[in-house]
Amino acid sequence: MRGMGNMQNMMKQMQKMQKKMAEAQEKLGEERIEGTAGGGMVTVVVSGHKEVLEVNIKEDVVDPEDIEMLQDLVLAATNDALKKADELTNNTMGQFTKGMNLPGMF
């Protein structure tokens, strides 16, 4: 019967960890991460859940003759923001998988 006590203790620990993970995920969603391109001419803000929240374009970069450049800047700023969001997620959620070799986890 000693094993049952250890199993119950382990289950309690897992429940605590699940709760902390859920709280960390929720907090990530509240984070605002900014990506930029063109020396700050275009900025994109995303949440920690990788939802685009804002796109800001400085008037100086808008050239009707060169729409491609503007599109490239928006794309670069978005990718920059998403990369930073991934790094934040890895740093935040990685604490829960330290020491575990779980492929595909954060």
Q: What percent of the chain has pLDDT over 90?
A: 58
CATH of domain 30-97: 3.30.1310.10
Query: Is residue 94 scored above 60 in pLDDT?
Result: yes
Give the CA dihedral 48, 51, 53, 58, nearest 10 degrees.
Answer: 100
Q: What is the DSSP string of 8-42?
A: HHHHHHHHHHHHHHHHHHHHHHH-EEEEEETTTTE
Tens-place pLDDT, residues 37-85: 999 999 999 999 999 999 999 999 999 999 999 999 999 999 999 999 9
Specify the pLDDT at position 103: 58
Can you list the pairs that 49-58 forms with residues at least 24 positions away whose Cβ atoms lie under 8 Å? 49/85, 50/82, 50/85, 50/86, 52/78, 52/81
**pTM for the model:** 0.74
> In the chain, what is the greatest distance between 2 CA atoms, to the nearest angstrom?
78
